[in-house]
Amino acid sequence: MDLRALRYFVAVADERHVGRAANRLHMTQPPLSRAIRQLEDELGAALFERTPKGVTLTPAGAALYSDADALLKQADRIRGRVTAAAGAASLTVGTLADAAEHVGTRLVPLFRERHPHVDVRVHEAGLGDPTAGLRTGLVDVALTRTPFDTTGIGTHVLRSVPVGVVVRDDDPLARRPSVPARDLTGRRWVRLPDGTDPLWTAYWTGGAPGDGAPVLRTVQECLQAVLWNGTAALAPVDQPLPAGLVVVPLADRPPSDLVVAWPKTARGPLVRGFVQVAASGYRE
């Protein structure tokens, strides 16, 4: 029986409703329900009675609630004393533009719930740096996409996402369910900054850039180049697109992994904590 399971239990007991407790915990309802069932299995007792309006505590649940609430408050006091003794702490999280929303709306709230006294900063990197600031030492941990040179960098895969070619909705390819790379020959491609990781460049561009193509440093710049000039670009199939663009799955390219990454030589407790939050957040 760990503290996280007790926090889940107390949240459900306070809210008297699994859905409201899930919102309070910044998670979805199914993993919360599973966690409660696992706690009941571990203790060998039903903790809640399910009703059409929500849940109520059983006698066993009421007995656990009193002790669990006191234990969690004591744990928070211990954490506060340790944090005060350690002094101010901060964590800088690097992202690419298309991954920034994952950090801001999904992972930072979960991390701050476990580390409320840590100052979390987000650094948004351009497409020229797929490590999102790790390689240059600007960030402590990063949420980014593969493939890139991982020498000296540890990664944990959060999910794999197929990629596709972004075209205008009046392009003949737009009506196809998928397209092989051979059908993209001769198209004008976006140009990434000089010196960009060769693995990254080879994966995210389908060919040589068009004559005189400007250097594009952000996802939005690439999308606008497609929209205005008919330039071809690749993107995850779940990439939000402006009106007038569609993404057609690329049939013969492996998926890209959304990963949390960190420098292997500097994986401190806050970095480990963020990696754990990211892994559990996407698993749930």
**Does 80 share its domain with 201?**
no
**Does 98 share its domain with 61?**
no
What was the pLDDT predicted at 200?
92
Mean pLDDT of 220-240: 89
- Please check the confidence at residue 88 and state whether its pLDDT lies above 60: no
Q: Report the distance separating Cα 201 and Cα 130, nearest Å.
A: 10
**Does 250 share its domain with 172?**
yes
Q: Are 236 and 145 a contacting pair, CB within 8 Å?
A: yes
∠ CA 140-196-100 to the nearest 5 degrees?
45
Percent of the chain with pLDDT over 90: 34
- For residue 80, name the pLDDT band (cuts at 50, 70, 90): low
Could you read off the pLDDT of 146-202 as tens digits, one per residue? 999 999 999 999 989 999 999 999 999 999 999 998 998 888 888 888 889 999 998
**Does 173 share its domain with 243?**
yes
- For residue 101, name the pLDDT band (cuts at 50, 70, 90): low
- Please check the confidence at residue 277 and state whether its pLDDT lies above 60: yes
- Please check the confidence at residue 10 and state whether its pLDDT lies above 60: yes
Identify whether 263 is preceded by a cis peptide bond (ω within 30 of 0). no
Domain count, the chain: 3
**Does 44 share its domain with 171?**
no
In which domain, by residue range, is 238 found? Answer: 163-254
**Does 214 share its domain with 266?**
no
**Does 140 share its domain with 192?**
no
- For residue 99, name the pLDDT band (cuts at 50, 70, 90): low
Q: Are 117 and 83 a contacting pair, CB within 8 Å?
A: yes
- Please check the confidence at residue 84 and state whether its pLDDT lies above 80: no
Q: What is the dihedral of CA 225, 231, 235, 238, to 10 degrees?
A: 70
Which of 66, 86, 106 terminates a domain? The answer is 86
Could you read off the pLDDT of 128-151 as tens digits, one per residue? 999 999 998 999 999 999 999 999
Percent of the chain with pLDDT over 70: 92
What was the pLDDT predicted at 162?
95
Residues 162-178 as b/e (b if ≥16 CB within 10 A, e otherwise) read bbbbbbbeebebbeeee
**Does 250 share its domain with 170?**
yes
Arithmetic mean of pLDDT over the chain? 86
| Residue 156: Cβ-neighbour burial (10 angstroms; 0-12, 13-18, 19+) | middle
Q: Give the long-range contacts of residues 183-190, CB within 8 A, separation 24 or more.
A: 184/232, 187/232, 188/213, 188/229, 188/230, 188/231, 188/232, 189/213, 189/231, 189/232, 189/233, 190/216, 190/222, 190/225, 190/226, 190/231, 190/232, 190/233
- Please check the confidence at residue 41 and state whether its pLDDT lies above 60: yes
121: domain CATH number is 3.40.190.10
